[in-house]
Amino acid sequence: MDQKARQNVAAAKLLLDAALVDSSMSRLYYALFQACVHVFIRRGLHPADLGPYTDWKHSTAKNHVYRARGRHADTAMFVEAYSLRLQADYRPQLVRTRDVAKLLPRVEDFVEEVCA
């Protein structure tokens, strides 16, 4: 999952540079989600250890993202990324470039740190 997370950060950058903002946001969110899953797996955790699930869920990652680096601020970042991803993928309103540009370095730092 660490390689998927890194590839999605790279894809988000390319898409943002190409002014494909919604697609960029979608990839950025998935980079964050995949990095969370990577940390949990690396620590020997399974979905059932964090909730009543057999597969990794977005809510599981959101509820436990703070455990990746021990920072509760990561929960707010995850919630913001998830909200923007829902807008990007399912709502008619386009995501603003500045919102993705502001979030990108934060997600990139998270991915780099937890996937190192």
The pLDDT of residue 51 is 85
The pLDDT of residue 53 is 85
DSSP code string of the chain: -HHHHHHHHHHHHHHHHTT-HHHHHHHHHHHHHHHHHHHHHHTT--HHHHSS-SS--HHHHHHHTHHHHT-THHHHHHHHHHHHHHHHHH-SSPPPHHHHHHHHHHHHHHHHHHT-
Listed by start position, the domains of the chain span: 2-114
pLDDT in tens, the chain (116 residues): 899 999 999 999 999 999 999 999 999 999 999 999 999 999 999 999 988 888 999 999 999 999 999 999 999 999 999 999 999 999 999 999 999 999 999 999 999 999 99
| CATH architecture assignment, domain 2-114 | Up-down Bundle (1.20)
**pTM for the predicted model, two decimal places:** 0.95
